[in-house]
Structure 1
């Protein structure tokens, strides 16, 4: 493998590992403070750092130009983080990290609905396999209804998938990624500060050295550096490859939940987790029956398109897959 591909792949894999540990970190810090305090303390420093970077680079005007789309994405991201953070306090970190992986499978369903294109057989099978895995996972030693935490994490998977589809379509339309994310994080920081600023401020004097380390991991590692790493790496590889690598996040969440948190999972639950991981990996992979997604969109063939024909009608099948691949990369990587 060439260095030009190895380095971006390594960065994306590190991002997946970091995000895989975010569920245990959020659960741990929420036990020391509260879920709303965690959300405020996670977003506020990251947003301030991004705003400072934009100011130093003279990009505040560019940030203002994407306020509308950024507020839409910020609302979806804030909803996802809120559902994840509250949900993980009501279920295990292992369950949370695995169930959120369904976003990779929900994304093509939403994309198919928006574009009115039928899902491929591979994706349909992966989706069915994924939901089978979740049923086994939450059932433990026998099939049972999921608890409220599992349901909140499933809702977070839905909003994360919506975020991925919306983000892919906005960036495909020419919106700059860094200004968009600055607005996203600022929107979340404002919302979470209004919601949890009081509890967050009150908890600061009581935080231990361990708590501060976990907070730095969540705010700087999972929110700021992981995003910048994802942004850099996805510019140097294909969206499909990024989606597959970031789609390993549930596997790392499973390993961290069992190995570090000491979560226990019975044989049926373990089988469900493995089935879900297989479904996510299969669903994120390019279809074997269609053309693979290119990194750059090719222009339409002038010989095949009449001058009066709109350019979008001349896309090849592989070009139609590009928004889906970008959405998969975004939804797999929300942290």
Structure 2
């Protein structure tokens, strides 16, 4: 069972993930002005995979068949998430995308309950609904119309929730190296994006010669992909996927903050209220889950070789 100090470390780590993912929206928007979607995703995951291979190649050689199989499955899920989310943002407004992607916070306990055959706690469900309502206030700046992009974002949100529960299900109670697992997962995404990017051809000259392009791509690759997903993979094995969903559900709040500080946007009182509701929902969800966790075993018993 995790002690209070370990839970604090897990929470801070997951909040860090929410911060860097929140910053990724602005960075990605700038990068996509120069390159096609699949080309950008290929470069992002290629850079990440190369670094991970250099760091974990010895562990990859010793990785079990279960580790490889799980990594491939996780990579397929991650590919689907990024394809749906990136193209969804392309076809819909940022406000609609921000609201719909946050629905993974609601989907996560529902999927977790089905996967592990457990009763859904009314308190937890109430907090995730509060989080979604806060996200609604934060991101809805105008009229709402459901379109193809909205459907793709909704699919990405559902895949996020399924990925969290499947990750915990496939890794719980098994000895797996997190570094090897992450490398395999990211490598699968790089291969898939590389195949899809072939019709796009070579990089445009503006991207090749642009230092900001490569700096932002490196940031997205190393901080928003490599480090963030590695932390998530570690922490989801040491706490519940619902807890992970609640904490990373603050991502829209940080996205709005970066937009204000770096993008020059302004938030209305309604949008700030939405952000505060998200933080409140995360806090109360953490408190209620801590009370329900007592006397139960957790994924902290999983060994990480």
With the length of structure 1 as denominator, give the TM-score of the two structures. Answer: 0.73
Match of 2:122 in 1: 121
Query: Which whole-Å CA distance do the structure 1 matches of 2:5 and 2:119 have between them?
Result: 37
How far off its partner does 1:159 sit? Answer: 0.5
Match of 1:212 in 2: 214
Which of 18, 24, 27 matches 1:25? 27
Matches within 5 A, 1:245-324: 245-263=247-265, 271-272=273-274, 274-276=276-278, 278-279=280-281, 281-283=283-285, 285-287=286-288, 290-292=291-293, 318-319=296-297, 322=298
Match of 1:79 in 2: 80
**CA separation of 1:228/1:53 partners in 2, compared to 1, >3 Å: closer, same or farther?**
same
Q: Which segments of 5 or more consecutive residues in structure 2 lack a partner in the other structure?
A: none
> Cα RMSD between the aligned structures?
3.6
**CA separation of 1:288/1:180 partners in 2, compared to 1, >3 Å: closer, same or farther?**
closer
CA contact (8 A) 1:126 1:282 kept: yes
Matches within 5 A, 1:128-207: 128-133=129-134, 136=137, 139-141=140-142, 144-176=144-176, 177-199=178-200, 201-203=202-204, 206-207=207-208
Deviations 1:162-187 (A, max 9, x none): 11001111111315232222221111
Query: Which whole-Å CA distance do the structure 1 matches of 2:217 and 2:202 have between them?
Result: 14
Match of 1:61 in 2: 62
Deviations 1:4-40 (A, max 9, x none): 7776665444332111111221222112112111211
SS in 2 for 1:155: helix
Query: Which whole-Å CA distance do the structure 2 matches of 1:199 and 1:261 have between them?
Result: 29
**CA separation of 1:77/1:175 partners in 2, compared to 1, >3 Å: closer, same or farther?**
farther
SS in 1 for 2:174: coil
**CA separation of 1:114/1:13 partners in 2, compared to 1, >3 Å: closer, same or farther?**
closer
**CA separation of 1:276/1:23 partners in 2, compared to 1, >3 Å: closer, same or farther?**
same
Query: Which whole-Å CA distance do the structure 2 matches of 1:291 and 1:6 have between them?
Result: 17
How far off its partner does 1:131 sit? Answer: 4.6
Name the larger-Rg structure.
Answer: 1
Deviations 1:206-230 (A, max 9, x none): 3311111110011112111333455
Which of 207, 223, 226 matches 1:224? 226
Match of 1:45 in 2: 47
With the length of structure 2 as denominator, give the TM-score of the two structures. Answer: 0.79
Query: Which whole-Å CA distance do the structure 2 matches of 1:234 and 1:128 have between them?
Result: 21
How far off its partner does 1:115 sit? Answer: 3.1
